[in-house]
Structure 1
Amino acid sequence: MTDGTEKTDPPARERRRGQGELEAQVLSLLGAAPGPVTAAWVQEHLGGDLAYTTVITILTRLHAKQAVTRSRVGRSFEWTPVADGAGLVALRMRKLLDREDDRDAVLSSFVSALSRDDERLLRALLNEPEDPER
């Protein structure tokens, strides 16, 4: 039975970010920054309505993952990227590999699961002359 009023849905909530998406956004922002920047700068340039504490949490997590460095300036820190988004994914992959006892099996399974194009790229990268700085 209808009483003449239309039922309306509550306003749609903002889309929740995927895992790591905010970290990638922060890294991208830091990479485009003019130099070391504060968390307040990051918060302001991210846009949206992220809480300062959320920005600090993300920066602290990135620091723990060794994707950013921080230096004390007064009572706060200035943050600088060490890795970009691709670098962060590479760090994650390395940490996962480091946890495994049978590295040969993990790497073999990884390579066998690659597409032909990705496998060709990986082989080309592995055949490049070794970097003397490594």
Structure 2
Amino acid sequence: MRLRTNSLGDLERVVMDTLWSHGPDLSVRDVMEHMHGSGKKELAYTTVMTVLDRLAKKSIAQRTRDGRAWRYTAAASREELAATALRSTLDNVQADRRLAMMHFLDDASPGEIDDLRAALVEVERRHG
């Protein structure tokens, strides 16, 4: 299954944070209770259900039938979703990808550059 990389709206992000933090296998009511318990604005059941349905259609969440209800699980970790979004963005660059990466890295902090170096070392180690 391939994740769609449409950016998440604010409400989608809150719902995904709930799936990541309290999942897997949450009902709409479970998601609502966890969101309300974390101090988030209380939303209508149908609103949360619609957001979860949208996330499932985008393949960002997976759902399984449980009687008449659905149970939801994040289809990927936060990190996997971020990586997919980055890859999609780079794939859609019509100009020079290297130049696009350079512009991105121009704003990187020294810590982010260190993280990038460490990640490159790990990738090179994995790929020989």
In structure 2, C-alpha distance between the alignment counterparts of 1:57 and 1:100, rounded to whole Å = 32
Q: Does the 8 Å CA contact 1:39/1:55 hold for their aligned counterparts? A: yes
Q: Does 1:40 align with 2:29?
A: yes
Question: TM-score of the superposition, structure 1-length normalised?
Answer: 0.65
Number of residue pairs matched by the alignment: 114
Q: Which position in structure 1 is the counterpart of 2:83?
A: 90
Higher alpha-carbon Rg: 1
Please list, as runs of the form range in 1=range in 2, the aligned pairs for 1:1-134 lying within 5 A after superposition. Answer: 20-33=9-22, 35-47=24-36, 48-102=41-95, 103-128=97-122, 129-130=125-126
Q: Does the 8 Å CA contact 2:24/2:74 hold for their aligned counterparts? A: no
Query: Which portions of structure 1, spanning 4 or more consecutive aligned residues, are displaced by more than 6 angstroms?
Result: none
Structure with a larger share of its residues in helix: 2
SS of residue in 2 equivalent to 1:70 = strand
Q: Does the 8 Å CA contact 2:61/2:74 hold for their aligned counterparts? A: yes
What amino acid maps onto 2:107 in structure 1? A
The one-character-per-residue Cα deviations of 1:29-70 (angstroms, maximum 9, x if unpaired) are: 223336311112212221142012221232234334433211
In structure 2, C-alpha distance between the alignment counterparts of 1:94 and 1:104, rounded to whole Å = 13
In the superposition, relative to structure 1, how do residues 131 and 99 fare at CA in structure 2: closer, same or farther (>3 Å)? same
Q: Does the 8 Å CA contact 1:68/1:80 hold for their aligned counterparts? A: yes
Tell which deviates more after alignment, 98-107 or 58-67: 58-67
What amino acid maps onto 1:81 in structure 2? A
Question: TM-score of the superposition, structure 2-length normalised?
Answer: 0.67
Gaps of 5+ in 1: 1-18
In structure 2, C-alpha distance between the alignment counterparts of 1:112 and 1:62, rounded to whole Å = 33
Gaps of 5+ in 2: 1-7
In structure 2, C-alpha distance between the alignment counterparts of 1:108 and 1:66, rounded to whole Å = 31
Cα RMSD (Å): 2.8
What amino acid maps onto 2:113 in structure 1? E
Percent identity between the two aligned chains:
33
